Amino acid sequence: MAVGSALRDTDRVAAPAPHACNTRVHGFDGAVLDTSAGGIAARTFVDASGLAGARLLGPPPVSRRALCAAAQYVHHVRDRAAARAFFANHGASADDTLVFTGIAGGYSIVNVRLHDGGERVGVLTGSIPADGHPSGRALVERFVAENAWVGAVDFGGARAIPVGATFATLARSNVAAVGDAAGQVYAAHGSGIGAGMLAARLLVDTITAGKSPVHYARGWRALYGATFREQNALRRAVQAMRPPQIAWLVSVGLIDENAVRAGLQGQRHVPSLSQLRRAVVRSLAPSFAPGGLA
């Protein structure tokens, strides 16, 4: 939702609304928000309305190949023993989160976790349909169809996440965007909650210091630009890979626990020289079976 700060009456404001909840933004003329609660004027407008929201800074510049179709559903478990067996068959305990990667293109995931002592199961998925793969919702449906122990759906939903570069325009004049509305997502794993909170913190600090939204945009680039560019580069690389290539990187030790941890935490990870040396030695070993790079 777009939020106005420092509200002031003007003759164009139908109903000043300092805290207008459940209000839909229909349009913006650069000075007054057109909303379901009337016109709202403010010194600064913040668009935090997500990818398909109010678009105060214009349509999101995101290509379809950088849209992750994600879904998360919680289902009742029909057969708890069979659920536990499913985890055990994959070498996991019922308390673990089972993650299947590369099941629908390099950038895809099916993540399965039991909740409430095994009474319910959460299935989280994501993929890039523009590359010709099934959507996150279709991956959930496939998982449910293939596993008879999964019962009726409890709740859930599906939506697109922008996993490309942070949008070039984060602010203009009296408007700033944060979160998905600004493409602020850790692209390597499609996480936007932390990124949006970093942006919101920076924006509040900037505005309360008496600076403009444009300073917030500059601050974002200076503080986080490099990290989010690297995340996007990693996403593109992974998206272009096929499962055997990912398996190869894991088997020679170039994708290890440290690399995954750094990726999840949005930190840079550069393989050490000894890691690279080990990878070459492992690849050349006569017993090495990478699973094929073809």
Ligand X SMILES: Cc1cc2nc3c(=O)[nH]c(=O)nc-3n(C[C@H](O)[C@H](O)[C@H](O)COP(=O)(O)OP(=O)(O)OC[C@H]3O[C@@H](n4cnc5c(N)ncnc54)[C@H](O)[C@@H]3O)c2cc1C
Binding site for ligand X (CB under 6 A): 1, 24-25, 48-50, 53-54, 70-72, 124, 159, 161, 179-181, 185, 191-194, 196
Minimum CB distance to ligand X smaller for 129 or for 245: 129
Q: Crossing angle of helices 193-208/213-240, nearest 10°?
A: 160
Shortest Cβ 176–ligand X spacing (Å): 12
| Smallest gap from residue 152 Cβ to ligand X (A) | 19
- The least distance separating ligand X from the CB of residue 150, rounded to whole angstroms, comes to 17
Complex with ligand X: residue 61 or 253, whichever CB lies closer: 61
3-state secondary structure of 283: helix
Q: Which helix (H) or strand (E) holds 39?
A: strand 38-41
Indicate the residue among 150 and 252 with the shorter CB distance to ligand X: 150
Task: Centre a 10 Å sphere on the Cβ of residue 186 and count the other Cβ atoms it contains.
Answer: 22
Contacts of 116 (CB under 8 A, 6+ apart): none
When the beta carbons of 137 and 252 are compared against ligand X, the nearer one is 137
Distance CA 253, CA 259 (A): 10
Q: What residues pair up with 157 in beta bridges, in sequence order?
A: 72
**Closest separation between CB of residue 218 and ligand X, Å?**
20
d(CA 58, CA 173): 14
**Smallest gap, in angstroms, from Cβ of residue 194 to ligand X?**
6
- Could you give the C-alpha distances from 139 to 65, 88, 91, 144, in angstroms and in order? 18, 22, 22, 9
Q: Which is nearer to ligand X, 105 or 179 (CB)?
A: 179
Interstrand relation of 32-35 and 25-28 (parallel, antiparallel or unpaired) = antiparallel
Residue whose Cβ sits closest to ligand X: 192
Contact at 8 Å (CB) between 185 and 163?
yes
Minimum gap (Å) between residue 293 Cβ and ligand X: 31
Closest distance of CB 52 from ligand X, Å: 7
Of 21 and 293, which has the nearer Cβ to ligand X? 21
User: Helical H runs in the chain?
Assistant: 80-89, 136-146, 193-208, 213-240, 243-251, 257-264, 273-284
